[in-house]
Every structure is written in C-alpha cells, then in structure tokens.
Amino acid sequence: MNLFESGLGFGPANFTPLTPVAFLPRTAAVHPDRVAVIHGDRRITYRDFHARARRLASALAARGIGAGDTVSVMLPNVPAMLDAHYGVPMAGAILNTINTRLDVRTVAYILGHGEAKALITDREFAAVVGPALQQLGRRLLVIDVDDPLYDGPGDRLGEIEYEAFLAEGSPDFDWRPPRDESQAIALNYTSGTTGNPKGVVYHHRGTFLVAVGNVLAWDLPPRAVYLWTLPLFHCNGWCYSWAVTLVGGTHVCLRKVDPALVFRLIAEHRVTNMCGAPTVLSILINAPAEQKARFDHVVDIQTGGSSPPAKVIKAMSEMGFRVMHLYGLTEVHGPSTCCEWQEAWDALPADEAAAHMARQGVRNAVVAGQIVADPKTLAPVPADGKTIGEVLLRGNTVMLGYLKDPEATEAAFGGGWFHTGDLAVEHPDGYMEIKDRAKDIIISGGENISSIEVEIVLNRHPAVQMAAVVARPDEKWGETPCAFVQLRPGAEATSDELIEYCRDNLPHFAAPRTVVFGPLPTTATGKIQKYTLREQARAL
C-alpha cells in the first residue's frame, strides 16, 4: 500500500454513481422556467418536465414496478417519450423503446423476451400492438398515449391514459441514483436483419458518458434547440434524449419526418441542432420547393448509418444545414466515432472536402479505443487507406451485453474489444472509413468487393437517388454484384448505362452484373433492408 492508498478512498462525500438521469433535476433547478419540451402548441417548462418525470416514476412505483423491471414503450417522439427517459430509470426500472415500425410478431417477441412489466403505447400503433399483446398471452400494465396531435385511426388498448397515469403519481417522488453506475438503464433491440433481434443492455455510466461525448464532439451549445427528426427509439435518440437536457436545451417533438413541418419548425423555433439517418436528409432535399421554408441561421445536422454523398452535403448546405458525419451502433449507445473537421480541409475544393467527410473518422473523447484490426489476432491493419479490417471499439460507452444471451455477449467482446462486424480501412491520418458490413462484402472470383464502394459510385450518377448493392450467387464467380437502384423522380437511366458508369469508375470486376430498378425498402431507422434485396437477388 503506497502513501496515497492509506486512509483515502471513495465514500458518500466524494462518490456518486454517474447517471444521465441527474441532468434533469439539475437543469430544472437552475432554469425552471425555461421551455424544455415543445409539442405542437404545447410548452413544458423544465420545472414541469421534472415534475412529469417524477410523477411517472412515482406512478410506476405505486404499481409495483421498480428495480430491474422492464418498461416498454411504443411511442413516436412525443413528450411521454421524453418523460420515460427520466421517469422510468428514476423508478429504478429499465426503459425499452420499441421501434414503432416493427411487425406484430417482433413486437410480441420483444415484450416477451424483455419481460416487460408495463407498456406505454401510442394510439397510432394499436393495429400492431393490439395483436402483439394477444400473441404475448399474458397481462401487463398497458398505458395509452392519446396525443391530441394524432387524429388517425387506432383504439386505446390499455387501462389508463398516460396523462391520467401521471396524475396518479407524486411530483415530489424521491428518486435515488442507481446503487452502481454499471446498472442497466435501457434495453434496445437491434433491428436484426435475420432471426430474432438481440436485446442490447445500456448502463448508467455509458449513457452519461455518451451524452457528454455528444456535447464535446458536436460543441452542442447551451440552450440548444433540438428538433427530434431522429427516432427516440433509436439508441435512445443517440443519447441526445439526455444530452439536450444536460445543456439546458429545448426538445422540439416531432411525430414523423414530414418535410413541410420540419422546415416550418426549424424557422419557427430557430432550431440549432438535429440528427437523422441519410433518408432524413434525402427527404428534406427532395421536398417540394414550396415546403422548404427559409431560415436565416445555420442548422447543425448529424447523420450516420452511411456516408453522406458529396451531392447531399452540397444540397444540405445550400438549404442552410451544416452536415456532420458520425458512426456508431446500438451496442455502443449510439455515436462513437465522428468525422471531426480538420483545419486543413478549409482550403479544399468542395468535392475533396466531401471525400474527407465521407469517412467515419475518429473516436469520440469518451471512447477509450478504436482500431481497425484483424478480429482474431487484434493486430491493427496498416493505416494505408487500403487494407481492410474489422472495426473494434473499447471503453465505457460499450453496452453491458446482450440480454439473456451470454454466448453472443462473449463472442462480441472477444479479446477485450467489442467487435462491430463492420469492415473498414484506416487512412494515414487515422480516420477510419467503413467499407462494408462483414456480411455485406461481395466475393467475386476471389476478389473482395465493397458493396459500399459500388454504391458510392452509383449514387454519384445524376439519375440515381439511392442505390444498394448486394451479392448475387453466380456459378462461375461465386458471387457477382447486383445493384438495386431507385431513380430520381423524372430521371431515366438504363442498366447498361449504369454498369458502364461503374466500369469507368471502378475495377471491372466490381461493376454490377445486374441492375434492378424500383423503390428501395428501408428499415425503421432508415437503413436499406439489404437482407430483403439479397433474397430478391437470389431469386432473380
């Protein structure tokens, strides 16, 4: 024992478990009258936001829901969804946000596997949730959100409406931080492309740090006005559910990404920040001109999931947005890596700068390690921008593991690193660039073809709105690239023309052999459903 280990240590005066839940009481104490949440004409101050969260915790506790219990929610980005990010963990429970675009079977599976004790559900999703509850075949507390801003079909399914449920609780509920910061705070099911989804367990320490990391990486300003174009069910809104509260910002709710509404809200509330999958950017760019309300400030927008093409960056910039590209996964609480701007890029032509911005980039300051490496030996690949390896991540922002799946957890954490399943190169400047999901790589005549590289070329073609490339089984070559292409409205192009275009810009073996035209299927989080396309390609 050295000099500094004797009579010194952590105790109640100098240790408190880290938790992002604590951001709300602090902001509510300092800025009680500031608007925390905007939803249509409704304004909720931080004082009231804090009271609502405590009411929710109290009402849940009164129904016997507490430590280690799962509370599922099937909600759009409405005030109840924000309340749940604080109120559920204040009760000691774990928040399970369900992707609202899932089907009956999957919702039933998640409620069952996650052992939900309660479900808060919006009337809009009754047609899925109703049958899912029947399939589940056991009773649980069901609370309906009957949002005045929703006037579509859908019955109430539960025993009580959400606002009435809140009224049952006390605004003075005396919540306590978790006993240990390694305790679970949220449960997010991966939008599994095959088989049953896996339940990713988030912890208090990790979500606290990702929220802090978001503020640092983006310089999220104090009093940010954050528009919820990103689903809050997606990695808890990439932890912006907590980060926006940390900086005392305003959450602007949004039930769905309706471009006319998005532009109007940006102008009306002087939105400073928003996030979204690439499809959100497409929706905004391709909105009819009359929907594009002008605004006279710059809106910072983060996007991830796939690289923003140069033309998207340019089109967004012309509309008043500054795009930042990031990378993350459900398993690392959302954002982990961002394409941090370099001073040297200021002087580059737009296209070259865009090429840099297309890279996923460098680890956030709260992430302990990021390497592109051989997943077995853990030896990093040379930083040559060419050699492909797997992206491995390490540190406090990695999940606790997969719920009830120790084998999958152990496999994911092999060698003390989280194995992302993403294949990438590392450039000489240390910036990482994703080349493909491990399972999306196409092996043709022994050559590795990055489906993403082919997509990047296709996306550059003026007639193409969106493209996806998957492997198609081939007797001679093993696999060949098969492109699915959605053309811009009114644009035309032939298969031969696009294949020729790819041959001019790629090694010949990487050019698609087949091109299929039509709208592309996307997941709820805006990712293209490659597994569907792969099946189609197999059946061609």
Tell me which residues in 55-94 interact with a second copy (CB under 8 A): 67-70, 94
Q: How far is the CB of 229 from a second copy (least distance, A)?
A: 24
- Interacting positions 395-434 with a second copy (CB under 8 A): 395-396, 398-401, 403-406, 409, 412-413, 416-418, 430
Asked if 411 and 198 touch (Cβ cutoff 8 Å), the reply is no
Sites for a second copy among residues 328-367 (CB under 8 A): 340, 342-343, 362-363, 365
Out of 136, 244, 246, 277, which residue is the one contacting a second copy (CB under 8 A)?
Answer: 246
Q: What tokens does 497 get?
A: 């023309």
Site for a second copy in 19-58 (CB under 8 A): 22-23, 26, 29-31, 34
115 binds a second copy (CB under 8 A): yes
- Report how far apart, in Å, the C-alpha atoms of 422 and of each of 28, 88, 123, 127, 439 are: 40, 33, 37, 35, 9
Contacts of 332 (CB under 8 A, 6+ apart): 210, 367, 393, 397, 398, 399, 418
**Dihedrals phi, psi of 303, to nearest 5 degrees:** -135, 150
Of the two residues 290 and 346, which places its CB atom closer to a second copy in the complex?
A: 346
* Cα pseudo-dihedral 199, 200, 204, 206, rounded to 10: 180
Query: DSSP H helical segments within 125-247, as ranges?
Result: 126-136, 162-168, 204-218, 235-238, 240-246
Shortest CB 86 distance to a second copy, Å: 15
Question: Closest CB to a second copy among 126 and 393?
Answer: 393
Q: How many residues bind a second copy (CB under 8 A)?
A: 71
Q: How near is the Cβ of 70 to a second copy at its closest, in Å?
A: 7
- Our CB check for a second copy shows the closer of 318 and 343 to be 343
Q: Where are the beta strands (DSSP E) in 330-454?
A: 334-338, 362-363, 369-373, 389-394, 401-402, 418-426, 432-437, 442-444, 447-449
Of positions 53, 143, 244, 247, contacts a second copy by CB under 8 A? 247
Closer Cβ to a second copy, 23 or 238, answer by number: 23
Instruction: Specify whether the backbone of 471 is left (phi greater than 0), alpha (psi in -120 to 50) or beta.
Output: beta
Side-chain half-sphere CA neighbours of 371 within 13 A:
17
The single residue among 182, 286, 448, 494 that binds a second copy, judged by CB under 8 A, is 182
Question: Do 278 and 308 touch, CB atoms closer than 8 A?
Answer: yes
Give the burial class of 52: count Cβ atoms within 10 A of its Cβ; 0-12 exposed, 13-18 middle, 19 or more buried: buried
Query: Which range, of 3-11, 141-149, 256-264, 309-317, touches a second copy by CB under 8 A?
Result: 3-11
| Distance of closest approach, residue 46 Cβ to a second copy, in angstroms | 12
CB of 175 to a second copy, least distance (A): 13
Residues numbered 369 to 398 that lie near a second copy (CB under 8 A) are 369, 394-396, 398
CB of residue 394 to a second copy, shortest distance in Å: 6
Take residue 475 and report the two structure tokens written for it: 């007797």
We find the least distance from the C-beta atom of residue 193 to a second copy, in angstroms, to be 23
- Here the tokens at position 400 are 């606790």
Please state the closest distance from residue 37 (CB atom) to a second copy, in A. Answer: 17
The contact pattern for a second copy, residues 470-509, with x = CB under 8 A and - = no contact, is: ----------------------------------------
The DSSP secondary-structure symbol of 146 reads: -
Residues between 197 and 236 that touch a second copy (CB under 8 A): 201, 203, 206, 212, 215-216, 219, 221-222
- Per-residue tokens: 82: 């924000």
Q: How far apart are CA 354 and CA 312, in angstroms?
A: 9
Q: Which stretch binds a second copy (CB under 8 A): 143-151, 179-187, 305-313, 525-533?
A: 179-187
Site for a second copy in 121-140 (CB under 8 A): none
Helical spans, DSSP H, in 288-423 = 310-319, 350-357, 406-412
Q: Collapse the DSSP code of 533 into the 3-class scheme (helix H, G, I; strand E, B; otherwise coil) and give the result.
A: helix
Task: Give min distance, CB of 395 to a second copy, in A.
Answer: 5
| Residues numbered 148-177 forming contacts with a second copy, rule: CB under 8 A | 177
